[in-house]
Amino acid sequence: MKKLAHWLIVGCSLVVMSAPVLAGELKVGWINIERIFREATPAQQATKQLEKEFDKRQVDLQKMGKQIQEQQSDLDKNGMTMSESERSRRERDLANLSRDFQRMQREFREDLNTRRNEEFASIQERANKAIREIAESEKYDLILTDAIYAGPRIDITDRILKILDESGPAK
């Protein structure tokens, strides 16, 4: 299905690209949206904010992972010399800790992804506004964000980055 949509876009683009012959000059621009999310000042600030927001939970998960490894290593090393009840208790404790760790990891990833999506949706909205402003003011007929190839002549990513950087931090 995704390939069909891709070929449909390519086909429509080819039809649109042939329009200059019929309707005059076609003005096309292209934006590398991945670069926007990586290099724009608001995106970098959002990334730092997310790191700061989730750093403590990440450290706690790392500590818990290390604790699991230590307990597993101790159980492997000393399990044969322990009483059956002691070994069973430690195995149960280790299984519970591992289950809690996996749950916490899953919740961490879900929370991080949710927050990242929230932050970057705002940046996407601001980028779209900047793209529309450039398209209208400079009379672009088509601005793409996905292409197999786009030459540097039509790449307007730097201009969008500049607008986003001038507009201040992410809101």
pLDDT in tens, 12-68: 454 455 544 445 789 999 999 999 999 999 999 999 999 999 999 999 999 999 999
DSSP state of 80: G
The residues, any chain, with a CB within 8 Å of residue 119's CB and separated by 6 or more, are 46, 49, 50, 170
pLDDT for 167:
77
Question: Which residues lie below 8 Å from residue 66, measured CB to CB, with a gap of 6+?
Answer: none
Q: What domains are there in the chain, each with its CATH number? A: 2-166 (3.30.910.20)
Entry pTM: 0.69
